[in-house]
Chains A and B, each alone.
Chain A
Amino acid sequence: MSMREFFQYIDATRSSTALRESYYVFPIVEGTHVISLALSVGLVIWFDMRLVGWILRDQPVSTVFRPIRPFMLAGFGLSFVTGGMLFWSLALRCYGSPFFWAKVIMLALAGVNIAVYHLTIDRRQEEWDQAASPPLQAQMAGLISLVLWVGIITAGRLMAYFL
């Protein structure tokens, strides 16, 4: 099965059609997807900016990250579930949208960035937790995350505009 056939298959499922044609559910899911940005990206930026060393420099990195994490994760959970539903309902149109693929690639890169950060420099966090300016690798992780989220929101908005 080619990628296109796979997307076609999703698009033709009863659940996809039902969601696409629903009068209330689709706008509610779309609205929730947009508003959940405030919880997910709206909160992750504080941690990213702390990693870069732009704000809250007098606070240990761990005290910025740990208490925010549950709220941020709830936000990302909501973003992914509603985003997944939107994709499911519009799979074929997504396939033809360059902005969709740009968004998917940037989401994957954001995932890699998070994994690399947690598996490497974050392992030695006690050594630089108090530092106003964390080591370069941690700063880069924060900066890359900020750039990717701006890109992901931009691609998502353009995708919806041209779909």
Chain B
Amino acid sequence: MWDRLYPYFLWIENTRLGHGIRESKWTFTLSEVVHLLGLTVLLGTTLLLALRLFGFVLTRKSVESVAREVMPLSMGALGLTLLTGTLLFTSEATKCWGNIAFRYKMLFLFLSLLFQFTALQKVTRDEERSFSPWIRKTTALVAVFLWFGVAVAGRAIAFF
């Protein structure tokens, strides 16, 4: 299945955008910097929410109101990370295609986004406390595991 995607990766890389990023040294480098800054804030938010769901921090404030305050920043960071990640990918799509770490990263990214906007969102907007502490903690752990998985696989792209 992955083999059949190659022509599309090649096409993406040869778009004007792909060429443009490859030829401008600073677009690529600055995208990498913003990608890392966005990731730091995104993982930091996930950690803070997880620590709150575990009852380690900000215990005098409800999970929902902590989430309400930190989510806009988290979503902004997610947007920036996805945008710069797409730019980086566009400039070297075929290299990514042949990179095993990239495939794992995409798998983790898909699962992270899915989990973020289903389970984590449900648990952090749970005004009626319908979920048991056990479910809340498991959700926090899975979210942290998935997002850190994206970061670890992403870092590993450079090593393959």
- Chain A 28-68 per-residue mask, 1 if CB under 8 angstroms from chain B, else 0: 00110011011101110110000000011011000110011
What bracket does the count of chain B residues touching chain A fall in?
A: 20 to 34
Complexed CA–CA distance, A154 and B40 (Å): 12
A38/B58 in contact, CB under 8 A: no
Whether the pair B155, A45 counts as a contact (CB closer than 8 A) is: no
Known A42-B40, A42-B43, A55-B69: A34·B57 in contact at CB below 8 Å: no
A39 CB, min distance to chain B CBs, angstroms: 7
Query: A154 to chain B: which residues have CB within 8 Å?
Result: 33, 37
Residue of B nearest to A39 (CB): B47
Residues of B close to A67: CB separation below 8 A = 51, 56-59
- 9 additional A-B pairs beyond A37-B40, A45-B44, beta carbons within 8 Å, are A31-B156, A34-B155, A35-B152, A41-B44, A42-B45, A56-B69, A59-B58, A153-B36, A157-B33
Contacts of B26-54 to chain A: CB distance below 8 A = 29, 32-33, 36-37, 39-41, 43-45, 47-48, 51
**B contact residues vs A (CB 8 Å cutoff):** 29, 32-33, 36-37, 39-41, 43-45, 47-48, 51, 56-61, 66, 69-70, 73, 148, 151-152, 155-156, 159
Residue in chain A with minimal CB distance to B154:
A34
Confirm or deny: A158 has a beta carbon within 8 angstroms of a beta carbon on chain B.
Answer: yes
Report B154 CB to chain A, min CB distance, Å.
Answer: 9
A153 nearest CB across to chain B (Å): 6
A143 to B3, CA, bound (A): 49
Residue in A31, A46, A153 whose CB lies within 8 Å of B40: A153
Known: A64-B58, A153-B33. A43 touches B47 (CB 8 A): yes
Q: Could you tell me which residues of chain A, from 89 to 113, have a CB within 8 Å of some CB in chain B?
A: none
- The residue in chain A whose Cβ has the minimal distance to the Cβ of B70 is A55
On chain A, the residues within 8 Å of B51 by CB distance are: 67-68, 71
Do A31 and B44 have beta carbons less than 8 Å apart? no
A residues bordering B, Cβ < 8 Å?
Answer: 27, 30-31, 34-35, 37-39, 41-43, 45-46, 55-56, 58-59, 63-64, 67-68, 71, 150, 153-154, 157-158, 161
Nearest to B66 among chain A residues (CB) is: A56
A-side interface mostly: helix
Pair A59/B151 contact, Cβ less than 8 Å: no
B152 to A31, Cβ gap below 8 A? yes
6 contacts between A and B (CB under 8 A): A38-B148, A42-B40, A46-B44, A68-B57, A153-B37, A158-B29
B40 and A38 form a contact (CB under 8 A): yes
The answer to whether residues A35 and B47 also contact, given A56-B61, A63-B58 and a CB cut-off of 8 A, is no
Known: A41-B44, A150-B37, A153-B40. A161 touches B29 (CB 8 A): yes
Q: Which of B43, B58, B59 contacts A56 (CB 8 A)?
A: B58
A150 to B33, CA, bound (A): 10
